[in-house]
Structure 1
Amino acid sequence: MRDILTVTLNPALDFATSVDSVAPGVKLRCAPTRTDPGGGGINVSRAIALLGGTSRCVVALAGRNGEALADLLREAGIELIVHKAPGETRSSLSVRDEKRGEQYRFMLPGPPWGPMDVIAAEKTIVESAQPGGLVVISGTMPPGVLPQLVPDLCGKLQAKGCEVVVDTSGPSLHLLARANGTSAPDVLRMNQEEADDLAGRKLLDINDSADFAQSLVRRGVARMVIVARGPEGSVLATEGQRFHSRAADVPVRSKVGAGDTFVGSFTLALARGEPLEEALRRGVAGASAAVMTEGTALCRREDVERLLEICPTAPI
């Protein structure tokens, strides 16, 4: 299996709980709290471990929250490469309203970074990558980190012989979408809202999303583009291929980490040499399994294997 390295520069110590009903001005009595290590690349590595794979995880950590997060990752059996970050690692809170079946997610900001912090982190990431391996850059960037870091990393990692998977948002995603083939990721994933934002309009259906994804590929934005359409599943487009995998109809308990679980399952399949259509199917089955679990939990391996049969991949 090819080496997988995940990158998380803005991790969070995730707390998840539930209450009978969310209401203002009263004390809300919470259920026992679940604590998990969180952040895009961390969740990708967690999903890979849950599915029986292995990965290495570059994580920028600081303070007591960082120490707690590192302990949780080691307990999960994930090989950790710690990069010392400034300040204190952030935390986040997810609260489920049991009466309405709704989830509220509170994301605290991470500590601001300076230019030297960015240079040092970039050095750690590139030195940690193995030629021929897969590198996953996932999640938000810390305050103070310019969007240019992501394409810069893509170029340096590809020069080392790595294949780069990017799942980001905001300014970093918009900068990648304006690229013309220079330092473009090999795989770029986005959700429906992010794709609508880039397109400047609502992508109405699966074909519309596939057309948009393929247009990005042909502009040199990435070698392949994936657009997640929530309950409809995901589409994947390359220069000459377009696939759709339908999501499973399952009870939704929490959407936390569903996209990261997709990336973990998809990347693990690539690392094992699976064809694109199978990797897409496994990604969608992983995301479907993830929404079935509580709070900040991700997926169960047995659920993913069971759901594979009802997440077929077909050409578009």
Structure 2
Amino acid sequence: MQQAQDPILTVTLNPALDLSARVSRMQAGPKLRLSAPVWEPGGGGVNVARAIHALGGSVQAWVALGGASGAQHQALLHQQGIVPHVFDAPGDTRQSWAITDNDSQQFRLQLPGEDWPEGLAVQARRDIVAQATGFVVLSGSQPDGVGAAFAQELAQELGAGRLIVDTSGAALARLMEQPLAQARPLVLRLDQAEAEAQAGHVLAEATDTSGFAQALVARGVAEHVCIARGADGTVLAGGAGVFHCRAPDVAVRSKVGAGDSFTGAFTLSLARGASFFEGLRLGTAAAAAAVMTDGTQLCRLEDVAQLLGACTLSPMGA
């Protein structure tokens, strides 16, 4: 029996058809023979939707797709039990590759998405708002032609307490530099590298990350700010305080999808009525579970359930 939850809509403006394969050794010069490829539907919001589905949640995926690779992407989503709401995007949906060698080194290559013509981003935003009835997760990069203010404009149209954002580049810089006076994102998630780039210095300890996250909340960047610290877990700051959830030690096979697995589990927890800090624990378990899987695979329900008890939640001082 499916657990009761609020609706979740994930949004992927710049999806990718993901290929993962193995090679004996990555080197320049000779032809490198790969193992049989594994194809997966990818992109930030798509992976968040896949993680929610894997954890037994209900989710609708809004995805901008185009061309033959977009059709393959959509077919793969259907195979995984996710029926997407497809928004017609220009050109062919991009591809990305994750190649792992026998020394467990992983090489990640990504193509850019097609440029969006003027006015298409406005159509997309209206279509998203028309589909949204609960939480909305905007995750992943933006194609060229989508303005840096897209996330903020979407937050304002949705209203307060609904939008969870995990983005990068100019869109992230805009959120940081020009906070909204009203209808801010409910949650902004950053990884360690993004947080340090925005802070302008290394966040060596969890206390450094905590201070930076609190400063962002105080400036009105978002109601809650979540910063991943890799193997050290995640820090979450909000009106109820600041907590650090430490991740359990696991064998790392691939780091692809850890952040999206976190966001999926975190959002699902909120949609089921849990507190932000309970969501922090579930998200941390899901991120740890994701790195235990190969290639572009995400978290598995049985791994998340096993790891949850080992995720240690600690309050941090102001």
What is the TM-score when the length of structure 1 is the normalising length? 0.96
3-state DSSP of counterpart to 2:309: helix
C-alpha displacement at 1:75, in angstroms? 1.3
C-alpha displacement at 1:181, in angstroms? 3.4
- 75, 78, 95: which one aligns with 2:79: 75
C-alpha displacement at 1:239, in angstroms? 3.1
- 103, 107, 132: which one aligns with 1:104: 107
Q: Given that residues 129 and 162 in structure 1 are in contact (C-alpha distance below 8 angstroms), is that contact kept between their aligned partners in structure 2?
A: no
Matches within 5 A, 1:26-105: 26-98=30-102, 100-105=103-108
Aligned equivalent of 2:168: 169
Q: Given that residues 40 and 76 in structure 2 are in contact (C-alpha distance below 8 angstroms), is that contact kept between their aligned partners in structure 1?
A: yes
Deviations 1:138-179 (A, max 9, x none): 000011211111110111011xx6611000111111110113
Q: Given that residues 14 and 43 in structure 2 are in contact (C-alpha distance below 8 angstroms), is that contact kept between their aligned partners in structure 1?
A: yes
Aligned equivalent of 1:281: 281
Aligned equivalent of 2:299: 299
3-state DSSP of counterpart to 2:152: helix
Q: Given that residues 282 and 308 in structure 1 are in contact (C-alpha distance below 8 angstroms), is that contact kept between their aligned partners in structure 2?
A: yes
Aligned equivalent of 2:126: 123
3-state DSSP of counterpart to 2:138: strand
Amino acid in the other structure paired with 2:55: L
3-state DSSP of counterpart to 2:57: coil
Amino-acid identity (%): 48
**Alignment CA distance shift 1:201-1:264 (3 Å):** same
Q: Given that residues 161 and 185 in structure 2 are in contact (C-alpha distance below 8 angstroms), is that contact kept between their aligned partners in structure 1?
A: no
Q: Distance in 2 between matches of 1:303 and 1:46?
A: 15
Pairwise CA RMSD of aligned residues? Answer: 1.0
Q: Distance in 1 between matches of 2:283 and 2:107?
A: 25
Aligned residues: 311
Aligned equivalent of 2:184: 184
Q: Distance in 2 between matches of 1:151 and 1:79?
A: 27
3-state DSSP of counterpart to 1:310: coil
Aligned equivalent of 1:2: 6
C-alpha displacement at 1:240, in angstroms? 4.2
Q: Distance in 1 between matches of 2:13 and 2:106?
A: 25
Q: Distance in 2 between matches of 1:162 and 1:113?
A: 29
Matches within 5 A, 1:6-21: 6-21=10-25
C-alpha displacement at 1:300, in angstroms? 1.0
Q: Given that residues 54 and 78 in structure 1 are in contact (C-alpha distance below 8 angstroms), is that contact kept between their aligned partners in structure 2?
A: no
Aligned equivalent of 1:152: 153
C-alpha displacement at 1:184, in angstroms? 2.2
Q: Given that residues 186 and 222 in structure 1 are in contact (C-alpha distance below 8 angstroms), is that contact kept between their aligned partners in structure 2?
A: yes
Matches within 5 A, 1:233-312: 233-312=233-312
3-state DSSP of counterpart to 2:84: strand
Q: Given that residues 55 and 79 in structure 1 are in contact (C-alpha distance below 8 angstroms), is that contact kept between their aligned partners in structure 2?
A: no
**Alignment CA distance shift 1:23-1:180 (3 Å):** closer
C-alpha displacement at 1:59, in angstroms? 0.2
3-state DSSP of counterpart to 2:282: helix
Aligned equivalent of 1:23: 27
Q: Given that residues 181 and 219 in structure 1 are in contact (C-alpha distance below 8 angstroms), is that contact kept between their aligned partners in structure 2?
A: no
Q: Which deviates more, 34-43 or 178-187?
A: 178-187
Amino acid in the other structure paired with 1:72: L
Q: Distance in 2 between matches of 1:277 and 1:155?
A: 25
Unaligned runs of 5+ in 1: none
C-alpha displacement at 1:74, in angstroms? 1.1
What is the TM-score when the length of structure 2 is the normalising length? 0.96
Poorly superposed stretches of 4+, deviation over 4 Å: none
Q: Distance in 1 between matches of 2:153 and 2:33?
A: 47
